[in-house]
């Protein structure tokens, strides 16, 4: 599946069913730029198990605030609308795949 972008308006709908990895990021964030191609690789490898959704914290402050996002990138894993895990900062692809698969 392709990586999607969510806004304050459609966020709940995007995370409501299945396994969804949400990348809270911003355009000015260096580590966020580093993790973007890694997420593309994760999507190509296990996109059938998890949907990846990106949320720009500058444009969607309501959602970022609701989930207490203090530093970025923060990756939050949702299962059927509920948070099951989260990781902060840059992580290599292998670690992210392992992080996702332990909840799949």
Q: Which amino acids are annotated catalytic?
A: 29, 32
SS3 of residue 80 by DSSP: coil
Query: Measured between alpha carbons, how far is 77 from 102 in angstroms, rounded to an integer?
Result: 11
Q: Are 103 and 84 in contact (CB under 8 A)?
A: yes
At residue 71's C-alpha, the angle toward residues 40 and 87, to 5°, is 55
Q: What is the DSSP letter of 70?
A: -
Contact status, residue 11 vs residue 63, Cβ threshold 8 Å:
yes
The residue assigned the tokens 């296990």 is 46
């Amino acid at each position: 599946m392709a990586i999607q972008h969510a806004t304050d308006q459609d966020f709940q709908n995007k995370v409501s069913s299945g396994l969804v990895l949400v990348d809270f990021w911003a355009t000015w964030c260096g580590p966020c730029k580093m993790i973007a191609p890694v997420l593309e690789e994760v999507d190509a490898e296990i996109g059938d198990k998890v949907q990846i959704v990106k949320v720009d914290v500058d444009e969607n402050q309501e959602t970022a605030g609701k989930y207490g996002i203090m530093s970025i990138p923060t990756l939050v894993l949702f299962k059927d609308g509920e948070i099951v895990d989260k990781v902060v900062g840059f992580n290599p692809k292998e670690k992210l795949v392992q992080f996702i698969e332990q909840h799949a």
